[in-house]
């Protein structure tokens, strides 16, 4: 469905003798004329252009929304202009099975606000923001009845995978603070400013900048991954070294690593256990090894001595934690050794 009626570039000719400063990050790309219509009609139009989505109106009792859906050609990519004041638009797994996703939708928030939920992440879009939606994954667009307009550039998913790899899939917010954000906005403004049917090289220029952005994202993720592994590796080493000190705990460990306690807990999340549980496990394993190692005739290897030397300063807690981990009290280990 292609309809250019009612759509015009937002930029007007500017007197070269009196140049105006354009806010590339926030200025709208297009203008549309939305109209009142039934939810079913707008849903049908969106499905014809974007695939299987479901609209929930802000006022269920009327079953109507104010909206519009049109398409234009941006380079060789079909682009949808969607205006609506619905409560939300949804695409779930049932819809994906019925209509498999073949595109990545580069959504540019052109007017109003919208929350996008995809792959357990939530991002709020304000005018000028961009988000790459993956149609192969469930997504939800929440407007809460606010009059909104989005420009959605449809990028063939397989081609994008071939160009950029999996970094471009799953839903990704384009960071407004990245210098490449402004470069992308500048190219989009150029594309939409004069002639809607732009030459292909404009589209290629945009994809080149998008590819540079993805490369930057991959580099940052790899750097964070290496940093995370470095923090976790040092944390495990420090636990092994200081576990026998009863005053050593997660707070002290975070101080030695020069990270926040929250960051430390997040790193240990990769192991599936909190910092405190890891520290307790090391102390209990140490205590069991010492109980298995010798007798208590000298008085230096009694259960109490072993507990204190393994980093416990509460004997009753030691007995309880030992039984919980090994299914028997520490005395049973001592009896087996004696026999």
pLDDT of 60 > 50? The answer is yes
Average of per-residue pLDDT values in the chain: 85
Q: In this predicted structure, which of 75-79, 170-174, 182-186, 220-224 has the lowest mean pLDDT?
A: 220-224
The beta-strand segments (E) located in 166-303 are 172-174
Check: CB of residue 178 under 8 Å from CB of residue 213. yes
Rg from Cα positions in the chain: 30
Over residues 125-136, the pLDDT tens digits come to 999 999 999 999
Least Cα distance to 115 among 133, 101, 100 occurs for 133
Instruction: Give the pLDDT confidence score for residue 18 in this predicted structure.
Output: 42
pLDDT above 50 for 19: no
Write out the E strands in 161-281.
Answer: 172-174
Contact assessment for residue 149 and residue 86, using Cβ atoms and an 8 Å cutoff: no
Residue whose C-alpha is closest to residue 215's, from 187, 189, 180: 180
Distance CA 5, CA 236 (A): 64
How far is it, in rounded angstroms, from Cα 186 to Cα 184?
5
Cα gap 201→16, rounded to integer Å: 25
* Antiparallel, parallel or unpaired: β 172-174 and 130-134: antiparallel
pLDDT tier at 6, thresholds 50, 70, 90: very low
The mean pLDDT of 214-231, rounded to a whole number, is: 74
Domains of the chain, CATH where assigned: 8-197 (2.60.120.10), 228-338 (1.10.10.60)
Band the pLDDT of 108: cuts 50, 70, 90: very high
Q: What is the pLDDT of residue 223?
A: 66
Strands 30-31 and 54-56: unpaired
- The predicted model scores a pTM of 0.62
Residues above pLDDT 70, as percent of the chain: 84
Two tokens, residue 336: 């087996």
pLDDT the model gives residue 10: 53
β-strand pairing of 130-134 with 103-111 = antiparallel
Per-residue model confidence (pLDDT) at position 295: 54
- Give the pLDDT confidence of 321-330 residue by residue, as tens digits: 999 999 999 8
Helix (H, G, I), strand (E, B) or coil at 150: strand
Confidence tier at 2 by pLDDT (50, 70, 90): very low
Q: What three-state secondary structure class fits 109?
A: strand
**What does the DSSP 8-state code read for residue 174?**
E
> What residues have CB less than 8 Å from 63, skipping those under 6 apart?
38, 39, 40, 57
Q: What span, in angstroms and rounded, lies between the C-alpha atoms of 263 and 11? A: 46
Helices marked H in 260-314: 261-268, 275-293, 303-309
Whether pLDDT at 3 is above 60: no
Residue 280: per-residue pLDDT: 95
CA separation for the pair 195, 204 (Å, rounded)? 16
Cα separation of the two ends of the chain: 85
């Amino acid at each position: 469905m292609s309809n250019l009626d009612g759509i015009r570039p937002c930029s007007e000719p500017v007197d070269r003798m009196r140049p105006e400063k354009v806010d590339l990050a926030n200025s709208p790309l297009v203008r549309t004329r939305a109209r009142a219509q039934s939810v079913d009609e707008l849903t049908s139009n969106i499905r014809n252009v974007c695939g299987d989505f479901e609209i929930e109106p802000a006022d269920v009792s009327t079953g109507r929304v104010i909206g519009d859906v049109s398409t234009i050609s941006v380079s060789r990519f079909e682009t949808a202009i969607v205006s609506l004041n619905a409560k939300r638009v949804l695409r779930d797994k049932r819809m994906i099975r019925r209509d498999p996703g073949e595109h990545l939708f580069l959504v540019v928030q052109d007017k109003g606000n919208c929350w996008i939920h995809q792959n357990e992440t939530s991002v709020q879009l304000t005018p000028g923001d961009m988000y790459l939606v993956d149609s192969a994954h469930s997504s939800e667009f929440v407007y809460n009845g606010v009059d909104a307009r989005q420009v959605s550039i449809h990028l063939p998913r397989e081609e994008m995978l071939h160009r950029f790899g999996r970094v471009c899939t799953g839903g990704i917010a384009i960071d407004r603070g990245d210098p490449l954000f402004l470069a992308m906005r500048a190219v989009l403004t150029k594309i939409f400013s004069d002639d809607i049917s732009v030459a292909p090289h404009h589209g290629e220029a945009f994809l080149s900048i998008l590819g540079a952005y993805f490369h930057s994202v991959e580099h940052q993720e790899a750097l964070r991954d290496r940093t995370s592994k470095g923090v976790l590796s040092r944390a495990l080493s420090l636990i092994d070294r200081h576990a026998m000190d009863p005053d050593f705990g997660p707070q002290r460990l975070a101080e030695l690593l020069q990270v926040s306690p929250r960051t430390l807990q997040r790193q240990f999340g990769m192991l599936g256990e909190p910092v405190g549980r890891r520290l307790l496990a090391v102390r209990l394993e140490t205590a069991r090894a010492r109980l298995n190692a010798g007798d208590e005739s000298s008085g230096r290897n009694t259960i109490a001595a072993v507990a204190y030397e393994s980093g416990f300063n509460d004997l009753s807690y030691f007995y309880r934690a030992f039984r919980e981990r090994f299914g028997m009290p520490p005395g049973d280990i001592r009896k087996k050794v004696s026999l």
